Amino acid sequence: MPTQKRSRKVAAPAEAPDRDGPTPAAAAKAGVAGGGKRVLLVDDDVEIIESMKAVLESKGYEILVARDGNQGLVLAEQENPDLVVLDMMMPKRSGFLVLERLRRSRSVPLRVIMITANEGSRHKAYAEMLGVDDYIRKPFAMDRLLDSVQRLLS
């Protein structure tokens, strides 16, 4: 099996999946942590998306990517992911507006982790009032994100 060159220092499992990750059935059969669960990443920062994607795919999660809030809403409605990782400040529609819409439009709420570089406690309180499942401030360790994803999807 040819080795892949990674641009980030991310510890890969002994038998790393290919770039697209294992199929859900293969992940579940192999006992991979993600078990084929689908995670929608909504962020306009390419480096953050690629870092989160690499770490989550290495754990068996299927990753969907949206680059702004409007794309995030469309993908959430069309693809019905198990979890959304949502940036607060994005072009076209903020993470707050996406979260409000997701909470109003779905009978069964999606699990949502909000990530932000904003230090304000009022923003965190507002996100919690809207029903966010976790709130992570940037910069964050990928282990912090992975722990939250695994906890919310277990």
Tell me the per-residue pLDDT of 91-150, one tens digit each, with 9 for 90 and over. Answer: 899 999 999 999 888 778 899 999 999 888 999 999 999 999 999 999 999 999 999 999
40 beta partners: 64, 84
Q: What pLDDT sits at residue 109? A: 84
In Å, what is the CA distance from 9 to each residue of 48, 54, 75? Answer: 13, 10, 29
Contact 89, 116 (CB under 8 A): yes
Q: What pLDDT sits at residue 33? A: 64
Tell me the per-residue pLDDT of 26-68, one tens digit each, with 9 for 90 and over. Answer: 444 344 567 789 999 999 999 999 999 999 999 999 999 999 9
Q: What pLDDT sits at residue 11? A: 33
**Domains recognised in the chain with CATH numbers:** 36-153 (3.40.50.2300)
Whether the per-residue pLDDT at 1 is higher than 70: the answer is no
Whether the per-residue pLDDT at 10 is higher than 60: the answer is no
CA 127 to CA 65: how far, in whole Å?
21
